[in-house]
Amino acid sequence: MSIQSSLQYGILRLTIDRKERRNALTADMFRALADALRAAEADPKTRVVLLQAAGSVFSAGADLEEMLAAPEAAEAAADDFFSTISAFTKPVIAAVNGPCVGEAFTALLYCDLVYAGSHALFSLPAVALARTPRWGAATVMALAAGPSKAAEKLLLSEPISADEAEAMRLITRVVEDEHLENVVAAKTARLAVLPPSAVAGTKQVLRAARAKLLADAAPFEEEVYRRQAVSPEAAEALKAFLEGRRPVFQADDEE
């Protein structure tokens, strides 16, 4: 399964633990995360969710081999997860201890507080894989960082350092690596003892404006993604990545 779950003192810790594959997320892992969030929503003992990862990599994103072998199952599971986390009413804190790529990075955009170690690195390389952003990622990034900076990182598939991510308002704060665990522990403990209805209500207010923008923009973002995901260049990009070679893209008017 590779998602470890534990509840203590009102804090539900969800740990991505697939270190042998750089914590790449499979359909089963997306389903496990979604199921855990749904259970947490219904459990009054759960006050806050902490999303973290084992090892030195937070996550390499979706498992590309699985995406190539069973794309429909992989996408359905990811859709379910993002639908669940976007509607989740309790606070979610993420502790990012290393590289965070693709779908894992998009998940951070739905967390309420994101603390990253100074050596964390973020990337949403959809264009490099001949795809487009989805689940509202482009909209949230443009809203947080401004259209021009979001365009630079998305169109060029450029990595984002921890300091850049903080400056772009994509994460809450950069913390020295050796202090990350203690800082996150203090924040989660604080949220776990605050009045839960007030916390949930404040989260609802904070999310209201963004929710309207996403409701307008996300369906179009998804439409563009689904059209691009079945294109010949998307198939070539994914195949080339898994084969460790440079992809060859051909314009429509080339033979």
Of the pLDDT bands very low, low, confident and very high (cuts 50, 70, 90), residue 251 is: low
Q: What is the pLDDT of residues 181-212, one digit of tens each?
A: 999 999 999 999 999 999 999 999 998 877 77
- 3-class DSSP state for residue 157? coil
Residues with Cβ < 8 Å from 165, sequence gap 6 or more? Answer: 116, 120, 122, 171, 174
**Residues 141, 186, 17: CA angle, nearest 5 degrees:** 65
Kindly state the tokens that stand for 45: 């003992």
pLDDT band at 220 (very low <50, low <70, confident <90, very high): confident
* Sheet architecture: strand order including 113-117: 3-8, 11-16, 48-53, 92-96, 113-117, 173-175
Q: Pick the residue with more confidence: 250 or 43?
A: 43
Q: Domains of the chain (ranges plus CATH)?
A: 1-177+196-255 (3.90.226.10)
Cα 247 to Cα 24, 128, 202, 243, distances in angstroms? 22, 10, 47, 10
Model pLDDT, residue 248: 86
Q: According to the model, what pLDDT value does residue 168 have?
A: 97
Q: Is the pLDDT of residue 93 over 90?
A: yes
Q: Give the pLDDT score at 126.
A: 94
Q: CB count, 10 Å around CB of 162?
A: 22
Average pLDDT, integer, range 238-244: 83
Going by pLDDT thresholds of 50, 70 and 90, the confidence category of residue 1 is low
- pLDDT per residue over 134-159, tens digit each? 999 999 999 999 999 999 999 999 99
Q: Supply the pLDDT for residue 255.
A: 43
Q: DSSP state, 126? A: T
C-alpha span between 3 and 9 (Å, rounded): 20
At residue 16, the 3 state secondary structure works out as strand
